[in-house]
């Protein structure tokens, strides 16, 4: 099983611990790397690939929109999904972030299940397996078992092997 690597960006250590607790309670296939500001986040993004980035909208040293624009210049993470955690009580922040091009904006005050659903939407392990399977409708294969030739229908070809029906 492949582990999803999540970069968690928040200046407050207790909030990072709370978010990790929520996520670990629902998902067992995640690993967190934590940063607390934009500068350390950028250095981490240049060194390591991540499956998803979860960041607060309120960074101490740069705007989250600047962080997202610099994400395209990284070798490993140019197409990494970016989830922004909004802490705005009036909801104005969510609309402005969505207008800035963020696909995933989560209100941090909402239920933790919304964050879990957004992580699963942004980086779903089932989508990784789609690239490893091929389906060819009506395909047949020929097998020779103990000097007996068999013709069978092919169901699925994958990198790990193939499945067939006799």
Three-state SS for 68-92 is: HHHHCCCCCCCCCCEEEEECCCCCH
- Domains along the sequence of the chain with CATH: 4-129 (3.40.50.2300), 133-165 (no CATH)
pLDDT band at 164 (very low <50, low <70, confident <90, very high): very low
Residue 5 CA to residue 123 CA, distance in Å, equals: 10
Higher pLDDT pick, 60 / 161: 60
Backbone angles phi, psi at 39, to 5 degrees: -65, -45
Could you tell me if 23 and 119 are in contact, meaning their C-beta atoms sit under 8 angstroms apart? yes
Which of 75, 45, 59, 69 shows the shortest CA–CA distance to 10?
59
88-128 pLDDT, tens digit per residue, is 665 667 777 777 778 788 887 767 788 899 999 888 777 66
Higher pLDDT pick, 14 / 131: 14
64-86 pLDDT, tens digit per residue, is 888 888 887 788 888 889 999 88
Residue 95 CA to residue 132 CA, distance in Å, equals: 37
Tokens linked to 72:
């395209």
Mean per-residue pLDDT of the chain: 81
Q: What angle do CA 128, 130, 133 make, to 5 degrees?
A: 125
Task: Give the pLDDT confidence score for residue 166 in this predicted structure.
Answer: 47
The listed range with the strongest mean pLDDT (14-23, 57-66, 124-133, 148-157) is 14-23
pLDDT band at 134 (very low <50, low <70, confident <90, very high): low
Tokens linked to 69:
């624009």
Higher pLDDT pick, 94 / 48: 48
Tokens linked to 109:
């005050």
Give percent of the chain with pLDDT exceeding 90.
28
Could you tell me if 83 and 53 are in contact, meaning their C-beta atoms sit under 8 angstroms apart? yes
Could you tell me if 75 and 45 are in contact, meaning their C-beta atoms sit under 8 angstroms apart? no
Task: Give the pLDDT confidence score for residue 89 in this predicted structure.
Answer: 61
């Amino acid at each position: 099983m492949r582990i999803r690597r999540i970069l968690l960006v928040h200046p407050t250590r207790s909030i990072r611990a709370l978010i990790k607790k929520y996520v670990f309670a629902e998902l067992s296939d995640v690993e967190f790397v934590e940063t607390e500001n934009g500068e350390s986040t950028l250095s981490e993004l240049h060194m390591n690939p991540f499956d998803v980035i979860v960041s607060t909208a309120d960074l101490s040293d740069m705007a989250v929109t600047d962080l997202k624009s610099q994400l395209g210049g990284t070798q490993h993470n140019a197409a990494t999904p970016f989830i922004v955690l909004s802490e705005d009580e009036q909801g104005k922040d969510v609309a402005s972030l969505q207008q800035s091009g963020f696909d995933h904006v989560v209100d941090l005050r909402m239920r933790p299940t919304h964050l879990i659903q957004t992580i699963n939407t942004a980086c779903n392990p089932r989508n990784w397996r789609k690239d490893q399977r091929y389906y060819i409708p009506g395909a047949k294969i020929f097998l020779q078992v103990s000097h007996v030739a068999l013709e069978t229908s092919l169901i699925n070809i994958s990198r790990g092997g193939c499945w067939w029906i006799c």
